[in-house]
Amino acid sequence: MAKQASRNPLKKPLNRRQFLKYSAATGAGLWAMSQSTTFAQVQGGTLGLMGHQEVAGLSPDDWGPSVQTTMIYAIHDALILADENLDNQPLLAESYEISDEGLTYTFKLHQGVKFHDGKELTSADVKYTMDYYRDPEVASTIVNEFLNVTSIETPDDYTVVVKMSAVNAAFLTDGAQCPIVQSEYHAQVGEEAYRQKPIGTGPFKLVEFNPSSLVLVEAFDDYFRGRPNIDFVRQEVVPEPSVRNIALLTGDSDSALWPLLVEDSLAFKDDPNFTVITTTTGGVKHIPLNNKLPQLSDKRVRQALMYALDRQRIIDDLWNGTATVANSNLGPKFAFYSRDGDPTLKRYEFDPEKAKALLDEAGWMMGSDGVREKDGMKLSFTCTTITGDQARRPIAELAQQFFKEVGVDMQLAEAPISTILDGLTAGTIDASLFNWTYGSVDPSPSSTLRSDGGQNWNSFNNARVDELIDLGLATTDPEQRKVYYDELQEIIVEEVPMLYLQWDQWMNVFSGRVKGLPEKANDGFTIYYNGLPKWWLEG
C-alpha cells in the first residue's frame, strides 16, 4: 500500500484504500537496514548532549519542547514515529490501517514488548494513555492531538482500534505519535509523579533526573528492537551557547541539541573533527503575544509592531544571514501548503511610519515621555525571554529599540521556559521569544491556533480559523486541504496573533566520535528522536 496522501502532497490524491497500510515486514525491514551497519560496531560509552533550557517533565504532556521531547522519546515509544526525513514509520505498531471512510484506525502491536519494569506492553496501555491525555478534564497540552477521537477499543491484547466521529487527517502525525506510558504505574503514582519518574518501552530507561540540570538515561537491555549501542545518554541543561561551544571544543560533550551561536556553528562546519547536519527549521522564531492583553488586543497594534520590526536587520546583524524573513505561520520547507513565498500574501516590510499611522488610528497617542497612551493606559508590555538564552535575547533587545522608535514600551524579563509556557497559557505573561511550530509535516495547527488548543500561547480566538482547521482535518485530499490552509494563512497574516520573525538554518553539531548519523535529514530534532538507539561512539 502507498503512504498517506498528506505525506506526498504533490502527487494525485490517493483513494481511501490506498491511503495507508504498513506491514510488519516494512517496519522490521527499515529497522534491520539501519541496524545492519550499526550493531556491528562498538558498544559502550556515554553520549553527551546539551540543551538550552530546563526539562520541566518527562511525560507525554511535556511533549513539544525539543529538549524534553528528545528524552521523552528516549524513554518511551509511540505507535508511529516520524523519521529524520519526516516520513511516518511504524514503531510499537507492527502494522496499521485505516478504514475506507477514514473513521477507524486499527493498530496491530508487536508482541513481547517490555516496559522498563518488566511488564509487557498491551493494548490496554495504549488505550489508557490516549484516553488519559485526550480527557478534557485532564486539560493536557496535547489534548488536540486527539481531535475527533470518540473511543478506543481493545478487542485483544495486541489490537487497538481508534474510532473517530469525523475524519482527522493529521491523526497519524499527532495522536498516533503520542508516547505510551505504563498504564498501571501511571494510574498508581499520578501524572505529577510520573513526569519525574516515567516508565516506558523506549530504548533507554531513566537513571537520574534534575529538571534544571540533567537527564541521565541508560540502555534498556530488553529493548524490543535490540539493545542500543550507547550505554548512557547524558543530557545537560546548558543555557549559554558559548558554554555549549566550549564543551564541544574540549570534548566534554558530543552534541548541541539546541544550536550554538551562528558564527560558532559555521566554524564547526569547516572542522573535520566534527559533523554538522544543516536543515531548515519548521518552527518559526517568533514573539508570541497575549492577544487578550488590552494593549495587544487590537490587531492594528499587532500589525504596527510587525511594521516596526526590521527583521532583515535582525537576521543580518544577529544571525549572520543564516535565516530568511518569515511571511506566514507555515514554513517554506513544507512547500506544498506554505504561502510563505507567495507575493500575493500580505507582507510587513520595515515601515516605521506605517506603524505610527496604525497606532494613531487605533487611538494610541504619543505621550510626553515617548510612550503612547490611550484612556490612561500606557502602550507597554513585557517580553519574558528564556533564562540564559544568549542567542535570542539580543533579538528581544533590538526589537525593544525598534518598538521604542514608534512609541511602544516593551520591557524585558527572564524566566524558565516552563514558567513562560504556563504563564502564556494562563494569560499572566504578556509576550516571550522562542521557536515554535504552527503547522508542519501535517499543516494543521490545531494545538497552537485553534481557540481551545493546548498550546495556544497567544490566547488567539478566531471562529473562522477554528472552522478552517476543522475542515482541513476532515479531508485527506491535499488539494482541498490546501484551499483551507491557504485561507487560514491569509487570516493569520492579517490578524497577526504572534510576531513571526524568521526561518532559521538549523545546524546540529556532533563530535567526530558519534557514528551512524544519517547522510541526509529534513528535520533537526527527529535526528535525535530516531538516532539515539542506533548511533555508536568511537574513541
Residue 64 lies in a domain: yes
Same domain, 453 and 522: no
Asked whether residue 403 is domain-assigned, the answer is yes
Residue with cell 527527529: 526
d(CA 384, CA 397): 11
**120 φ, ψ to 5°?**
-80, 140
Per-residue pLDDT of the chain (539 residues; tens, 9 = 90+): 222 323 232 223 333 333 333 333 334 334 443 444 444 578 999 999 999 989 999 999 998 888 999 999 999 999 999 988 888 999 999 999 999 999 999 999 999 999 999 999 999 999 999 999 999 999 998 998 999 999 999 999 999 999 999 999 999 998 999 999 999 999 999 999 999 999 999 999 999 999 999 999 999 999 999 999 999 999 999 988 899 999 999 999 999 988 888 889 999 998 999 999 998 888 899 999 999 999 999 999 999 999 999 999 999 999 989 999 999 999 998 889 999 999 999 999 999 999 999 999 999 999 999 999 999 999 999 999 999 888 899 999 999 999 999 999 999 999 998 899 999 999 999 999 999 999 887 889 999 999 999 899 999 999 999 999 999 999 989 999 999 999 999 999 999 999 999 999 889 999 999 999 998 888 888 899 989 999 999 97
Q: What are phi and psi of 13, to 5 degrees?
A: -55, 140
Can you tell me the distance from the alpha carbon of 99 to that of 405, in angstroms, rounded to the nearest whole number?
58
For residue 267, tell me if it sits in a domain: no
CATH number at residue 401: 3.10.105.10
For residues 106 and 209, state if they share a domain: yes
Asked whether residue 487 falls in the same domain as residue 533, the answer is: no
Is 262 a member of any domain?
no
Question: Does residue 388 share a domain with residue 451?
Answer: yes
Domains of the chain: total: 2
Does some domain include residue 256? Answer: no
Q: Give me the domain span that covers residue 499.
A: 284-504
CATH number, domain containing residue 104: 3.90.76.10
Q: Looking at the structure, do residues 489 and 516 belong to the same domain, yes or no?
A: no
Residues 454 and 318 in one domain: yes
Does residue 204 lie within any of the structural domains?
Answer: yes
278 is a domain residue: no
d(CA 243, CA 50): 10
Q: Is 298 in the same domain as 200?
A: no
CB 304 within 8 A of CB 296: no
Which is it for strands 104-109 and 93-98: parallel, antiparallel or unpaired? antiparallel
Residue 73 neighbours by CB under 8 Å, 6+ apart? 81, 179, 202, 529, 532
| Same domain, yes or no: 214 and 291 | no
pTM score: 0.78
194 lies in the same domain as 312: no
Has residue 240 been placed in a domain?
A: no
Length of the chain counted residue by residue: 539
Eight-class DSSP state of 536: E
Q: Are 473 and 529 part of one and the same domain?
A: no
Residues 352 and 209 in one domain: no
Considering the domain architecture, whether residues 100 and 164 belong to the same structural domain is answered as yes
Q: Which three cell numbers, joined as nine digits, stand for 378?
A: 500606557
